[in-house]
A and B are shown apart, each in its own frame.
Chain A
């Protein structure tokens, strides 16, 4: 399709979407934003925006790292449950059940306060190189969020691995592929395609879990907004801005994932 045709198509879709009542609603929304900008106090912004950017960066960093590590853990968890012998399948199932059956906040505090109070009692831990990390808060946050993501995504991957048609695997075997090659070339890619739509949802859920690390004194964007609220005694402004920031990040995430999904062959199975 030429660029001109695309533009016409877009214009047509826009005019279809912009009905009269929507224009009114948009005007009302703009008026609300205008009121918020002029009648609320935003003079604290210049003082805190650097801290805020750092907070956003930390939240995103935690999100990316925990999702990547969690997915790497979820693949063996799913595989063990879908096709493993029972001494692999049962522990994986138990792990997923425990992670999905208890609140993330509790897991986080269990790791931070529970393990955190245990480590310093071993002199050899305090003398080792690990202590530099173990005395900080963020490793506990990263571990808790990673395990949580692995637990939820492991269940998804179990379904995805089990959903790959048997014929595909049999065909691969008939071609004489080795077991690892079958996994790498056939089983994992097809399971991944199947899991991708849920992966979007899980990633957004993970983003929405990241502010919990603020409760163990990691300074992410949520902690920055709490600090602003404490310093300036403002209630709504920092929270509204925070909600807007999270909505923007969610929107960007959904957009990225829809781009990835569009690249994947539709006909599978």
Chain B
């Protein structure tokens, strides 16, 4: 992952445009939208002269990272929640420090810190064991960094969900002599899902949007792809609006799926309206 602090190389939008300010009319429309509808399609077309393909590749990278980060976050979150609920005093306090620190520090700062610390640590381990230093791929680094951030939030979500399972169900499972893993699979997870899914779905939506932050450290995802396309063609508004539409479509599509999953996880329970 090339780490270019791109915000120092600010593209001056005013400088280039103001020189030609006297030519209004057509120029004006050019900046807002390319002169005609055909122009829009040319710019956004997925094949070479257009930039649509670049945007779609960026979107794909964003989705890959979001999925990876959410999965890693779920793993950390499940472990963290069980540690917080059933772990020893030291585990509990350390986990409390983890969730508090991650939730109090901006994601941007955490991304930088974890990226440097993570790659440093891995390379030092490798050199200590006598291997060559390696370049860590941007995808792996992005997934790791966002996964650690997501883990802190999902720890809290899953912990809350486990706590809202009626205690009697878990006691009954213990009384039947279920081993812990079977109890987790048969009782705890199915019973906590209806409580956990709204929070976890929210985390997924946050993850898709947090991938945009990786643009700041130079990872090629949708927001950075958009910036490059806009920088080259100078059609800033067009490309940023197009990227916004892609993110929005991802969110709305996710909402659709989430609705289904939520309904499935609540099967057999009274509907929300009846429960009130």
Contacts and interface: CB of A to CB of B under 8 A. Distances in A.
A121 B17 contact: yes
Contacts, number: 161
Contact residues on B (Cβ < 8 Å of other chain), bracket: 35 or more
A126 interface: yes
A216 B215 CA distance: 13
B40 to A, nearest CB: 15
A242 B116 CA distance: 15
Interface in A92-130: 97-98, 100-107, 109-110, 112-123, 126
A239 B112 contact: yes
Contacts of A211: 106, 108-109
B58 to A, nearest CB: 11
Interface string B207-222: 0011111011000000
Interface string B148-164: 00000000000000000
Contacts of A216: 7, 10
B271 interface: no
Interface stretch (B26-34, B70-78, B179-187, B191-199): B26-34
B132 interface: no
B107 A208 contact: yes
Interface residues of A, number: 55
A230 interface: yes
A115 B210 CA distance: 23
A209 B89 contact: no
Contact of B17 (A120, A210, A242, A243): A120
Given A106-B212, A106-B226, A121 B248 contact: no
Contacts of B266: none
B244 interface: yes
Contact of A109 (B28, B31, B93, B223): B223
Contacts of A222: 106, 108-109
B156 to A, nearest CB: 11
11 contacts: A103-B212, A106-B212, A106-B223, A106-B240, A106-B243, A110-B241, A114-B236, A207-B106, A211-B106, A217-B7, A235-B116
Interface of A: 19, 21-22, 25, 97-98, 100-107, 109-110, 112-123, 126, 135, 204, 207-212, 214-217, 222-223, 226, 230, 235-236, 239-240, 242-243, 246-247, 250-251
